Amino acid sequence: MSTLNNVVAKPEVEGRKLSIVEALREALQEEMRRNERVILIGEDIGIKGGFGGAFTVTLGLSDEFGSERVIDTPISEAGFTGIAVGAALGGLRPVADVQYADFLFLAMDQLANHAAKMRYMSGGKLKVPMVMRAPVGATTRGSQHGQSLESYFMHVPGLKIACPSNPYDAKGLLKTAIRMDDPVLFFEHKLLYGSKGSRKESGGLEVFGAVPDQEYLLPFGEAKVVRPGRDITIVANLLMVHKAVLAAKTLSEQGIEAEIIDVRTLAPFDWQTVFDSVGRTGRLVIVHEDTLTGGWGAEVAARVADSCIGYLQGPIRRVTAPDTPVPFAPVMENFYVPSVERIVAAVKEVCQ
């Protein structure tokens, strides 16, 4: 992973160098200052002398905004998610913090049956402006603390889904999410938080990016081409964007120029950017850390096959985790998570 630190994908903007944790914290702080109806709710997010949540994102915010707006809860994901839904229906804008995305399964009824459907079932009279922040990705914590769950929620109409890969996107998308009138699942990869600070992630990337001093928002539904290329399109999210960048460097040395698209949000999804890229390159590889069967890459493959079949010059390939639980042993986890080498091999196979 050390080599990966040198080639992380960076947006072309100017500003201070922040980590994703710092960018997320700044987004929360700015939105709480801007709107007194924005509250934070979750486990261990405001304890005096604590970490500031599982990964320090809310560190120090309770000092400024107090315990009435940075609300610590018991260990009950079903409970505080239900509170967040109710608070949103009552006019607040809660940002809920689930320590690990795996625990979202404990709140599926609240998210999939209530938050996602209230606006539709009320004919638009009710709104649920809430954000659920959820760390994903395998980090040697085993099967119940390392899953990538984006696809589950992409399947639920009424939910918006963000998955930023860098600090600039993380801040801009979170600020937009907080201002939305629909519920947002905001996924953050644990290895992109970094390997320094009070909560170190073994193997974490030092992803520092330029974040402007002035306020900015990023719209949902706009993917970003992080690397142009002529021979093949690689579509990825979160940590896999950075691995795709490294794979593209290796491929370039072998005469293959890959175009890399960071999807940034899964719902809404920017289909046109993907279609346009595939129309130029004629080939597609999709990379995500979720399992193969039913992963969001399957939907991308199906839509591209439906809309771009006349442009394709080879089969669509997916580089994903296998259809098994996340293993605990580090050597097995390294095998489980898609690698740079697997991305390179898939691209070369498609380009033959």
Q: What is the Cα–Cα distance from 111 to 106, expressed in whole angstroms? A: 10
DSSP helix, strand, coil percent of the chain (3-state; round to 5): 40, 20, 45
Helices 239-253, 340-351: axis angle to 10 degrees equals 50
Q: Is 263 helix (H, G, I), strand (E, B) or coil?
A: coil
Contact residues for 142 (Cβ-Cβ < 8 A; gap 6+): 326, 327, 328
Q: CB–CB of 148/290 below 8 Å? A: yes
Looking at 145, 189, 242, 288, which residue is catalytic?
A: 145
- Token look-up 């967040």 returns 84
Distance of CA 18 to the CA centre of its chain: 17
Furthest C-alpha separation in the chain: 60
Q: Is 144 helix (H, G, I), strand (E, B) or coil?
A: coil
**Catalytic residue at 155?**
no
Any idea which residues carry the catalytic annotation?
Answer: 145
